Amino acid sequence: MPRTLINVPKTAKAGEIVEVRAMIAHPMETGQRMGVNGAMIPRDIVNRFVCTYGSEVVFAADLWPAVSANPFLSFSLRAKEAGVITFSWTEDSGAVHVATADITVT
């Protein structure tokens, strides 16, 4: 499983807008490069990112081959209640990588 880095505040006040940052270590191969053996390196990109907070999708993005390796995303959300923020990255192959972070809301 690729390494993920998640940055979410541990605590927030109800109604506060917080910044969320997420990064996944992924090569994002476009399928347009040749390897050292002269063969094309197959396309392998993360093509979808979804972040849910509680049961609500708070951020989603479709990613394309022009996105650099190790995609980094930053966005804001409004802290409503204590819970789990779930991050999922979907690859071309259908593999899904999931990471979570807890937030306490007072």
> On the CB side of 53, how many CA atoms lie within 13 Å of its CA?
18
pLDDT tens per residue across all 106 residues of the chain: 689 999 999 999 999 999 999 999 999 999 999 999 999 999 999 999 999 999 999 999 999 999 999 999 999 999 999 999 999 999 999 999 999 999 999 9
pLDDT at position 100 is: 97
- Nearest in space to 21 (alpha carbons), one of 81, 67, 87: 87
Of 65, 73, 72, 20, nearest to 47 (Cα)?
65
Report the C-alpha gap between 2 and 100 in whole angstroms: 14
Q: Domains in the chain and their CATH numbers?
A: 4-105 (2.60.40.10)
Single pTM value for the model: 0.92
